[in-house]
A and B are shown apart, each in its own frame.
Chain A
Amino acid sequence: MTPIGLAQIAVVLVAVIVAAIPLGGYIARVLAGERNLLTPALSPVERVFYRLAGVDSAREQSWLSYTMAMLAFSVVGFLSLYALQRLQASLPLDPQGFGGVPADLAFNTSISFVTNTNWQNYSGETTMSHLTQMLGLTVHNFVSAATGLAMAFALVRGLSRAESPTIGNFWVDLTRSTLYVLLPLSIIVALALVALGVPQTLQGSIEATALEGAKQTIAIGPIASQEAIKELGTNGGGFFNANSAHPFENPNALSNMLEIWALLVVPFATAFAFGRAVLDQRQGRVIAIAMMIVLVAGVLVAYWAEAGGNPLLTEIGVDPSPGNMEGKELRFGPAMSALFAAATTGTSCGAVNSMHDSFMPLGGLAPLFNMLMGSIAPGGVGAGLYGFLVLAIIAVFVAGLMVGRTPEYLGKKIEAREMKLAMLAVLIYPLSVLGFTAVSVMLQTGLASLNNAGPHGLSEILYAFASTTDNNGSAFAGLTGNTPWYNTTLGVAMLLGRFAFVIPVLAIAGAFAAKKKAPASVGAFPTHGPLFVGLLLGVIVILYLLQYFPALALGPIVEHFALLAGKTF
């Protein structure tokens, strides 16, 4: 680790927080339906949307109706994206003449984009036509993120309201999140990326004659517009196979910093927006601080592990001082690769600017553990906040047990029903991750996809199910995911991670909304100070370390010790 590397990391994180505080205020105003900067320009557009869709924007929904609307939207989105991929050969804007996408791959990809995962079992430049990339994938980059933000605010309303039968209107939240938050930010970031060198053209490829005379076919396309929302919406689905490591997606150090900033800023802003929405900024600040502590811990572990180089290569004469450079781009180096890795897995983004599969064992453990914790530092757009609030509810409950009082969070009594729902949500993750991993390692078809042998092979499978369950989408990409087994099981994992988690969350929102709000009393456990941050972190560590330590011990941890002993596989 070098002071320059640490300074690079600090610059990005400070820029994120500086922007997230005002953006949080803006998001809170947008989702409360208050007048804001863009109201004069956008409210006519918004009204057209509601009229066409037959939505009465003044009419709110119960939690069940809200959930049904969200599910209906997701099902329609899934079906249309599936059809688009299957039929792309007979549709326009396919300059490279790719055929239709096979059924199992189209199934996996459709779920992947609808659930905001963007796990990619395909290679963008050799599978998807420009039409599919634009009409299908870019659209879901927006609306799946907007859906996340909508659900987070449904929960926030549940916490801030008293004795209310409703938690908002899904169609209004969806429309406002897209129009007021994601679209304007994307336009700014996309144009900034073009200025920094990211291409934006409708051409399919460029033919060049390389200096030594060989022909070089360079794939290109409308990259900047997709890149911007890929980061801002914490989607992560790259235009190219190499994702943000590809020089066209991420040409230099500044574009790299902008992309990391873009993938962190909305989730952090959402934490501040929460504070504003519950009329106590301290509550939002506490969440943001806890998120930042988890994020920084992950960055430091990954940077430390990557900066020292690979001892097995040092031994045969490679200079270790630039760090472990296998699978890393020179222009980013180990510090910015480690920050990207921690940020993309701390959010549920999943874009990568280096190949996590080639990280050192403990360097790869950091992003893996980030996802096993459910990507809560700071989490996906919306998903981070509702994920963290579930943990806050559990933390308050644990505190209540310790002092022997009925636990309360923001004046809401936490009772058996809410606790059952919260535990149901957090237990889905290990069930999916560990269950599917266990079955995959027992099947020949599961093991045939491995790119690496030994403990690293287990890490590849564990990482895949952690990433999909968590709706992250990054990969230990050596694993060949485009097989019927993985296309199907990873697809199911993504469905469980999104819907089996969020339906209990929306039920909690409904239950809280209906409750009375108790006035603040001295007996209540304060949820806005350093003590609560400590408690939250303690609950997170205990909950997830206990669940996953055995699996991690067999994967990255044993690999670390094997490496120190000079063993290869």
Chain B
Amino acid sequence: MFSHLRPAIVMIVIFTALTGVIYPLAITGVAQLALPAQANGSLIERDGAIVGSTLIGQNFVSDRYFHGRPSATTGPDPADPSKSIDAPYNASNSMGSNLGPTSKKLVDRVNAAIEAEFDAGRIDVVAADAVTTSASGLDPHISPQFALAQAGAVAKARKLSETQVRALVDANTERRLLGVIGEPRVNLLLLNLALDRLQ
């Protein structure tokens, strides 16, 4: 055993140098030089300020914007940092609800979401993504079905024609690559930015 000690220690040290320092730093260097936009998080600026990342969802509650999926992320309670409270789309603490399919909490939560959105007339069909939380709590997308279901309410709040808003959803819908790869989706932040640009 002791005769193996020297190679064990030396190997850990040199592999740490190679795979723990040189490898990530070299990839960082190449990525920052060749692909800076992606390497820095695909950020979007408006009027010189960072408004978010195309890849990371944000929380929308105003009637003037399309809403995203419910999010299960939490954050520290400002009153008592040792406790955590609901903080939707907290991009420094990704998580899903982890509620099982027979969870009463899940069924109650979905029921409440349906009441808040459908029964209140904000949406006219209950798309699956409209009432379920994503795995990361940061899903940047909604389904075209969910977006179109909100078009009437958003148009009303913005005093736009519904046709105009539906056309905007259509223009922001990403389709499957080659008809096979990926799922049809709408990037919520890009859609809402486009909505702001309309006015």
Quick one: closest B residue to A567, CB to CB?
Answer: B102
> Once the chains bind, are B138 and A241 in contact (CB under 8 Å)?
no
> Once the chains bind, are B92 and A142 in contact (CB under 8 Å)?
no
Docked complex Cα distance between A125 and B62 (Å): 29
Q: B145 CB to closest chain A CB, in angstroms?
A: 7
Docked complex Cα distance between A232 and B2 (Å): 32
Q: B20 CB to closest chain A CB, in angstroms?
A: 4
> Once the chains bind, are B59 and A206 in contact (CB under 8 Å)?
no
Quick one: closest A residue to B140, CB to CB?
Answer: A247
> Once the chains bind, are A328 and B31 in contact (CB under 8 Å)?
no
Decide yes or no whether A275 CB sits under 8 A from chain B: no
Q: Which of A175, A322, A326 contacts B97 (CB under 8 A)? A: A326
Q: B41 CB to closest chain A CB, in angstroms?
A: 5
Q: Which of A80, A200, A323, A329 contacts B27 (CB under 8 A)? A: A200
Decide yes or no whether A310 CB sits under 8 A from chain B: yes
> Once the chains bind, are A217 and B91 in contact (CB under 8 Å)?
yes
Chain A neighbourhood of B135, CB < 8 A: 242, 245, 327-329, 352-355
Q: B196 CB to closest chain A CB, in angstroms?
A: 7
Q: Which range holds the interface residue count of chain A?
A: 35 or more
Residues of chain B at interface, number, CB under 8 A: 100
Chain A neighbourhood of B180, CB < 8 A: 4, 7-8, 11
- Most chain A CB within a 10 A radius of its CB, from B32, B50, B55: B55
Chain A neighbourhood of B69, CB < 8 A: 330
Known contacts A241-B94, A327-B96; A53/B182 CB under 8 A:
no
**Which residues between 177 and 203 of chain A lie within 8 Å of chain B, taking CB atoms?**
178, 183, 186-187, 190-191, 194-203
Q: Which of A187, A212, A214, A219 contacts B92 (CB under 8 A)? A: A219
Bits for B167-199, please: 1 = Cβ < 8 Å to A, else 0: 000000000110111110100010011001000
Docked complex Cα distance between A452 and B27 (Å): 41
- Most chain A CB within a 10 A radius of its CB, from B61, B128, B129: B128
**Which residues between 50 and 86 of chain B lie within 8 Å of chain A, taking CB atoms?**
50-53, 55-62, 65, 69
Chain B neighbourhood of A563, CB < 8 A: 101-102
> Once the chains bind, are A212 and B60 in contact (CB under 8 Å)?
yes
Decide yes or no whether A482 CB sits under 8 A from chain B: no
Decide yes or no whether A293 CB sits under 8 A from chain B: no
Chain B neighbourhood of A190, CB < 8 A: 27
Bits for A1-42, please: 1 = Cβ < 8 Å to B, else 0: 000100110010000000000000000000000000000000
> Once the chains bind, are A327 and B97 in contact (CB under 8 Å)?
yes
Known contacts A212-B62, A332-B183, A354-B135; A224/B100 CB under 8 A:
no
- 10 smallest CB-CB distances across A and B, nearest first, come from A253-B182, A478-B98, A245-B135, A242-B94, A456-B100, A242-B136, A72-B4, A355-B96, A200-B31, A357-B98
21 example contacts (A-B, Cβ-Cβ < 8 A) are as follows A53-B6, A139-B12, A143-B11, A194-B38, A200-B32, A206-B41, A210-B58, A211-B60, A212-B61, A212-B62, A216-B52, A219-B91, A225-B27, A241-B94, A242-B136, A247-B136, A317-B114, A322-B128, A327-B134, A357-B98, A453-B104
